[in-house]
Amino acid sequence: MTSALSVAGAPVSASHGAVVVTMAGEADEEEWARFVDGQPDATGYHSWGWRRVFARAFGHESFYLLAKESGRVVGVLPLVFVKSALFGRSLTSMAFVNYGGVLTDSPDAAHQLVAEARHLAERLECPHVELRHLGRRFPELPCREHKVTMLLPLKSGMWEALDRKVRNQVRKAQKSELSAERGGAELLEDFYAVFARNMRDLGTPVYSRALFHQVLQEFPSRAAIHVVRRGVQPIAAALTFETGGRVEVPWASSIRDFNALCPNHLLYWHIIETAVERGCQLMDFGRSTPNEGTFKFKEQWGAQAVPLHWEYVLVKGGELPMIAAGNPKYRLMVEAWKRLPLSIASWIGPGIVSGIP
């Protein structure tokens, strides 16, 4: 594959002074990885493997922009192109996860990467580019700060550092003879049974099983599944993803019928305990809406809220996009979804949610 960037035959590789921006192809994977691995601000979602995950799980095409100066990589920007009959077209870094965006310490490269992303969006007929950053990168761009991620430093002796109420709820789960285990693909069916049920109960279309299968296959040493059981029945589960000394929980669920037994508390304690044993120094509880239920659950563990900055290049102006269950126009759809039989929700859900980046 050529590294010259083209869409529908239109060349879009660009040179801006000393910085040259091109489309990274398969031959550039090793060079991309070396750059990302050397950047302290890189997230796990800058890894090249996510390109294969989204292609295999959803069929989405990704466009990975590479900035070079004097032949040396100075910046990257991974973008996922989503084309949906229901929700339109979007170009997102990174779709379906919390982070991504521009990765560079060169202001010139940063602005050239964004300029090329805009040109790419125009060619793909996308109304906007969404850049998901931890910190504010481009003050001139409109930004949404509607979500936070919850971070907890990890160390030995975490049990004593927990709030007494949290410890009591973990003990309650243990006294209820719930058990927890960590594994890989062999636990996928248990994870998905819990995840699909919980998403239906929340009124949210569920991702396909293929997404999680591809994550586990692409990142066998970094992704893991944690399952809490009552007897043999899985009642809470999570998929974790490690980057360096950071462990993240991008997907977690429990079956609400068992909430009184505190399976979520045992699940997260098991993740924390395992992460400390594996040498992780930071736990990312994942994305939350401030002051909602999941936010308060994560806050009781001592996790601190860090605002996420989703910055937008609006190709044709207009309002910022808002495709989320919290959008009032989707309220009736959410309530109707909760009443669907689980088998039907699990069948039609993946085709819908794959179009929501």
**What contacts 141, CB < 8 A, 6 or more positions away?**
114, 131, 311, 312, 313
Q: What is the pLDDT of residue 328?
A: 59
Separation between Cα atoms, residue 220 and residue 217, nearest integer Å: 6
- Residue 319, judged by CB atoms within 10 A of its CB (0-12, 13-18, 19+), counts as exposed
Separation between Cα atoms, residue 314 and residue 259, nearest integer Å: 43
Report the candidate in 335, 343, 355 with the shortest Cα–Cα distance to residue 201.
335
CA 70 → CA 15, 18, 62, distances in Å? 11, 7, 26
Which helix (H) or strand (E) segment is 91 a member of?
strand 88-93
Separation between Cα atoms, residue 85 and residue 89, nearest integer Å: 8
Q: What is the pLDDT of residue 355?
A: 78
Biggest CA-to-CA distance, the chain: 66
Two tokens at 49? 């493997």
Separation between Cα atoms, residue 85 and residue 90, nearest integer Å: 12
Separation between Cα atoms, residue 238 and residue 253, nearest integer Å: 6
pLDDT tens-place values along the chain, 357 residues long: 333 454 443 334 555 558 899 999 999 999 999 999 999 999 999 999 999 999 999 999 999 999 999 889 999 999 999 998 888 899 999 999 999 999 998 999 999 999 999 999 999 999 999 999 999 999 999 999 989 999 999 999 999 999 999 999 999 999 999 999 999 999 999 999 999 999 888 888 889 999 999 999 999 999 999 999 999 999 999 999 999 899 999 999 999 999 999 999 999 999 999 999 999 999 999 999 998 889 999 999 999 999 999 999 999 877 787 765 455 556 677 677 677 777 877 788 777 888 787
**Are 199 and 256 within 8 A, CB to CB?**
no
Q: What is the pLDDT of residue 16?
A: 53
Q: Could you report how far apart the first and last alpha carbons of the chain are, in Å? A: 26
